[in-house]
Every structure is written in C-alpha cells, then in structure tokens.
Amino acid sequence: MTSEGWGTPPVEPISQHYIVCGGNALAHRLVLELVEHYEVPVVVLVADRTRDHAPQIEQLAGVAAVVEYPNITEEALRAVSVGTARGLALVEGSDQENIHAALSAQDHNPDIRIVFRMFNQRLGENIERLLRNGAALSGSATAAPAFAAAALGQPNSVEVGGRYLHVAFDEAITPDRICVVADRVDRQDLSKLRLLAPQEGDSAEFVRLATEFGDDGPFRPGGVRREPPPATEPEPEPVPGGVAALQALPIEPREVTNWGRRLYWRLLDTMRFFTSARLRLVLLTALAAVLMSFAVLWYLSRDFGWTVYISLLDLAGAAQPDQPTDLTAGTGTGGAWQRVAQVVITICGITFAPVATAIAVEVLGSGRRGLPRNPSAGTRDHVIVLGLGNVGTRVATQLHELGVPVVCMERDPQARGIAAVRALGIPVVLGDGPFEEQLRRARLKHSRAVVAVSGDDATNLEAALEARHGNPDVRVVVRLFDDNFARHFYRTLDNAASRSVSYLAAPAFAAALMGSEVRGTLSVFRHVLLIAELTVEDGSGLIGLNRHDLEDPGGVRVIAVAFARSAQLHWNFPDRTRRLAPGDRIVVAASRSGLARLNTVLVEEG
C-alpha cells in the first residue's frame, strides 16, 4: 500500500479499482468490506490523513493508495484515477458536496458506478435519476431501525414482498419460521455465535423424530438402542447456546399503547403549567369550591342546563345578580344559598382567568421563540435519545412514529436535529453540564431506555453508565465502533445492547457499489444479517445456478424466489434443483462474506 500527497496521483497507474472518499468510521468499515470480502483494489481519498480514521485506513492491507486532498475537486478526482475506476463511494461530507462530486465523477467516467451518502433521502432519489449508474443511501436510515428496536427490546424488521422479516430467539421462535440464521448463541460470549449455520435437508427433522421416538424407543446413530436414564440419575444438562431464526409477520410490529396510562400522564403534563405547589393548592381549592357551588345551584333549580349556563356566566364575571322581589324582606327569586353560590363561583373565576391567560401566553410565546420544550412532569415510560446527529434524529423520529414517548438530549444548541425533533413535538434537554443533571432533567427515573448515539464511544459509554447508576432498571443501548469494547460492554452490563452504525451500514454500501440492492439489515447482537434482492439479468453469472449452488454454510440462504414475469414471491421454495433463468428474482439472507461472494459472481461473470 502507498500513500500520496496533495495533487500526486498513485505511484503506479491503476485501473478497474474502487474509490472511497472519506476518512470517517463508515469509510473505514467500507474499505474493510471491499478489501476483505470482495478482494478488489481500493484507493481512498481523505481530507486529512492524520485525523479521524484515516491513520487506521492507511494501515489496512489491500488498500492500493491513500490520497490526501482537502476537498473533492476535479484535481482530486483525477489524482485517484476516476476515469479508469469501476466504482466510487462518497461517504463523507454534506449532501450538497456529495451531489457535486457524484456529478463531476460521472463527467469524467460515464460508466462508473457511484454510491453516495445522503441524509435527505427524497433528494437522493431525485439525484439518482440524474446519474446513469448511481445509488443514494443513508447510513443513519440503515442503522436507525436496529437502535430503535434495541431500545424497545424487540427485533427490527425489513419489509419484503408485503412481509416483515425479523429475527427471533429461542422461545420466541414459531413453527412457521423461514430458516435458522444463528446457533450457539451465548449472550455472555458473542464470539461463540455461529451465523447461518450448516443447513440440514428438509427431511432431517422427520428423521430425527423417527429415531428419537421410534417403535423400539430412542436409538443412537448406528442402530444401537439407547436406554432411557434411570429415574435416580439426573437429567443431562442442556447444551449451552440458543438459536435465532428468521421469521415473517404480516404487519410491522408496533408498540402497544396503553391509552389509560397516557391519559393519566397527559393530566400530569397539564399540571406542569402550574408553576408551584402553592399555586396548585389555590387552584384546586378554587375548583372544589366551584364544584360545590355548582351542586348547590343544581339542587335549588333542578335544571341542569340552566345551572351550567349561569355557572359559566358567573365564572366569566358576566352573570346577572339575583334581584330581590321584596326590598323590605331582602328575599329574591333564588334565595340566599343561590346568591352565596354565585358569589363563590364569580370569585373563583377571577382566580382562573389570569392563569388561563398565562398558559396561553406561555404556549404561544415559546412557539414564536422557536425554543425546544423541556420534558413535562407527565413524561413516563419514555426513551431518552442522547445525541441529535443524523443517527439520533432518525432514531428519535422512528420511535415517535411507533407511538413511543421520546426525550432527546443534546449538548450542541446548533445541532440541526433539534429543529427536526421539535417539529414533531419531542422535548429536548439542552446543555453541556454533567450527565447526571441532564439525565435528571430528562426524567431518567421514569424512563424505559437510554440510547446513546453521539459520535464518540467514550461519551456514549459514560452516558450509559451514568444512566444505569441513576436508574438500575433502565435499558441502555450504546453506539460503539470498537468490537472489543463492545464485547466487554456485553459481559459487564445486563439489559444492555451495543450497535455500530458503520458496521450496520457498510455492507449495504459495499453491496450497492457492486450493483446489488440490499433491502435492509437485521441485527443478531453485533452481527449483521443482510436481506438482499437479486435480479437475474441476461448475461448474469446467476443464470443456470440452483439453490444448492447459491447456498453455503455461514454465507447465504435463499428465502424466496419469484419467477420471470411474476411479481409473486414463493417463500422457502422447495425445489432446490430448479435453475435460475433470466428475469427470475431471488431474495437471500446473507452474511457480509456470503453476499460478497454473490456480488463477485455478478461482477466477474455478468
């Protein structure tokens, strides 16, 4: 591997290579995917080789060159030989910068495959139409479902053909599972987990049952009868390690909403407007007096409608007084009790009016100032999202769409995610004080989970540990890049999960760079299972292959097949010998290396 200075092209002429622009965590993971699983030459363009992940990228075996330029200019693209490259990945910089670089690269090489990161997905779809061979992906959108699902303690899902695929573990697995995706699952030691284990034939389960429960009793392999253990001997201990399976749901799983509790919390939320306990006592006393006076008026008149009418007028200070019919006696139409009740209601109305005015002014005034609102006293059973970068904003938005209460925390008052979550009515705690104080303001004691997704591993870990100290029962989900760090995290904390944005997104970017469509990623703890859809085109290397050829242990499972000129997907298609023809579509569940193998077939033979 060589590394170059500004304006200097690679030492040796290079072609048919792939270019990765960026020195962040996603670029690091993407380069690893390309050199380890796809085994293609990679040239990396970084803004500063001494910052971010650029030093680690420079040490990777298989990287052809690292070129340093402060911006992706025409000169920089020529320095990385964009004219002879097969693919270009833009995974750093703003949406505008990536759009400009993608269009410039296409001018230099009309046939180059371009994959660029876009936060604004709608804009990315429109830019795709301007490119001859391009794809816009969002790393945060790819990773956010895994973080949101981890916060709720449930699997994330990927929609394919009207079904929502998800991974279930152990007792949650139903008989209609599609396939087993992992075994030897040990939550304390994730290194033992085996992804996409060797698959037995369709009849294996029936053979096992026949040998276990045959007419002559259980049998060992080889026909030797196995006697059941004596009653005095203990049952053998189960083999450690669980199982994970791919399942499908007809509808996307959503959070169950307890409307009774939500109504109760909303009432508490309303009381937040009353600024002090003394004022709340005064208002509650006034309300009790109004209700008692209302009861007196109703008892005297026996007319509910008239009682409501006169009570509202009294509250507004606009009721007509009870005129005496006999000035000498001082008696009126309603009597003394009616007069007392009306006076009480009118005085209480004087108390309510300024409070209602203050509430209206506060609500309208805070809206005009554009300030994010703090979590109210009625916030309960919510998820705290720390960090409103691209990922944090996506996670908060997805949880909100699922009907889960959310509170956000952000130290940078200029973070662009603040405006996005505020538009959804999500409260935000701002400030750079100690996490203990910030979490207290976010009502940690009443929260269900804390999701720390800032860009710094140490900050995320500090927030998680502080949250667990303040609430031992809270679930913590932490964004961590380093795998060893995450392994220790799992061993140390219970009711915790760790995810890596770059680890979740990089396989999708690599597959897109090779021309495949990844429908989504499913998390099996820190491992990634890719759901991809491949179309068999004329000249494709997939033509003539069957399920036996496509599937391999630890790599690929064909979970659905659609025949040419048919939109219907056949799940778990039983015919493993049928060969693929042009126009067929297959949906696969694959590991990173397994999908790389399929993509290599497409690139080399297609």
* Predicted confidence (pLDDT) per residue in 467-480, tens digit: 999 999 999 999 98
Question: Taking a C-beta distance cutoff of 8 angstroms, is the pair 201, 497 a contact?
Answer: no
Q: How high is the mean pLDDT of the chain? A: 80
Is 383-499 in the same CATH topology as 2-137? yes
Angle, CA 293 vertex, CA 291 and CA 297 arms, to 5°: 115
Above 80 in pLDDT, residue 28? yes
Domain boundaries, the chain: 2-137, 273-369, 383-499, 510-605
pTM of the model: 0.71
Residue type, 111: D
> Which distant-in-sequence residues (6+ apart) come within 8 Å of 170 by Cβ?
185, 242, 243, 244
**CATH number given to 2-137:** 3.40.50.720
452 pLDDT tier (thresholds 50, 70, 90): very high
510-605 CATH fold: Alpha-Beta Plaits (3.30.70)
Per the model's pLDDT, the better-predicted residue between 323 and 426 turns out to be 426
Per the model's pLDDT, the better-predicted residue between 189 and 443 turns out to be 443
Per the model's pLDDT, the better-predicted residue between 366 and 404 turns out to be 404
Query: Both ends of the chain: CA-CA distance in Å?
Result: 29
* Sign of the torsion formed by the C-alpha atoms of 108, 112, 118 and 123: positive
The pLDDT assigned to 332 comes to: 46
What does the block give as tokens for 35?
A: 């050199």
Query: Is residue 171 packed enough to be buried (19+ CB in 10 Å), middle (13-18) or exposed (0-12)?
Result: exposed
How many Å apart are CA 422 and CA 430, to the nearest integer? Answer: 12
Average pLDDT over residues 12-17: 80
151 pLDDT tier (thresholds 50, 70, 90): very high
The pLDDT assigned to 238 comes to: 43
Continuous segment of H or E residues that includes residue 324: strand 324-326
Question: What digits encode the pLDDT tens for the residues 409-451?
Answer: 998 988 889 999 988 889 999 988 889 999 999 999 999 999 9
Above 70 in pLDDT, residue 407? yes
How many Å apart are CA 46 and CA 1, to the nearest integer? Answer: 15
Above 60 in pLDDT, residue 327? no
CATH 3.20.20.80 fits 383-499, yes or no: no
Average pLDDT over residues 235-257: 68
> Which residues in 79-92 are b (16+ Cβ under 10 Å) and which e?
bbbbeebbbbbbbb
Above 70 in pLDDT, residue 258? no
The pLDDT assigned to 280 comes to: 67
Locate all alpha helices (DSSP H) within 129-231, ordered by sequence.
139-152, 204-212
Above 90 in pLDDT, residue 602? no
The pLDDT assigned to 601 comes to: 67
